[in-house]
Amino acid sequence: MTINSDLQEKLTDAILHSSLEKQQKTGPKLRQLHPKSHGLVSGKFTIEENIPEKCKVGVFAQSNEYDIFVRFSNGSPPKELNVLHPDQKGDVRGMAIKLNNVEGDKVPSDENDTQDFVLINHPVLFLQDVQGYIDLGKFQALVGEGQDPDPELAKKLAPSFAILEAINGKVIGNPLSVQYWSTTPYKLGSNFIKFSAKPHEIEAKPSSIPDSSHYLREAMVNHLTTEQKQSTFDFLIQFYVDDEKTPIEKPMQEWEEEVSPFIKVATITIPPQTFDCDERKEFDESLSFTPWHTLPEHEPVGSINLSRRKIYQEISKARRQ
């Protein structure tokens, strides 16, 4: 079901109001989503030379190399004032990429020379649209107050719970060694795409989890700083085929590789570096990542992405203030 513009705006404002209230209670200076950083690292985003013509749009128009910052994170909001969840807790893991010195007119935003790509470690989102966010918030509030949720609401949210269970059940040992997906669609000029970042070295499922609450940051420090190893990802895109197999307004439905194969368009290189220091952590907290830091050629599409535009911008503004 496509939500009309008036309802979309009303629901977006309701989500924004709720998010700002939670942000004020649990951590005014923290991100409401993905507040826990495992590390902000620098690197390069190198556009491949021989990519298909239909891919040569926006930042992919020609072979080029961009300086980038990449932030790895946990998705859950603070559980109480300035207290973040331990890494042992099942969670959405995020990868946010910021290309710097990107020329060209931008979709109106608070940054003029960047291009962001935002991803999580699962190929689909756990919400279909902004109404799903409202429903999930209502359900969680009732459970938090010790009340029994409406059975019809629980039934409606069953697909979302199944995806959340799959995401939270993923056990990872190092954020540098898992694949990430956009989950929602974006423009590529006149086409539509989804994208993914796939590491060259994908880890096997860890047999056990370290005791440290911050073991994911420690794993990155060990890889990039202690062992002085490089980390490399392929940046991949897949094209829209049709509304049945690759729907725009159904982010809970995966675009199967058999239907739309991934095409490599760039390489992400994260060299050995020292990043676990106060100066980098402060810079990390000062940055804002949103799908709407973008060239028009890569503009986000769909109900979820439309709501993100206002919500991300206002929450970031409140945090910085």
Between 94 and 2, residue with greater pLDDT: 94
Is pLDDT of 1 > 70? no
Q: Is 163 left (phi over 0), alpha (psi -120 to 50) or beta?
A: alpha
Evaluate whether the domain defined by 5-130+165-320 bears CATH number 2.40.180.10: yes
Domain boundaries, the chain: 5-130+165-320
Cβ count near 149 (within 10 Å): 15
Contact status, residue 56 vs residue 17, Cβ threshold 8 Å: no
CA dist 203 and 175 (Å) reads 10
| pLDDT tens-place string over residues 26-71 | 777 778 789 999 999 999 999 999 999 999 999 999 999 999 999 9
**Diameter of the chain by CA atoms?**
58
How many residues can be counted in the chain? 321
CA dist 44 and 102 (Å) reads 13
Is pLDDT of 145 > 80? no
CB environment 91-128: b (16+ within 10 A), e (fewer): bbbbbbbbbeebeeebeebebeebbbbbbbbbbbbbbb
Which pTM does this prediction carry?
A: 0.93
DSSP alpha helix (H) spans, 46-177: 130-144, 151-168
- Adjacent-strand bridge partners of 93: 74
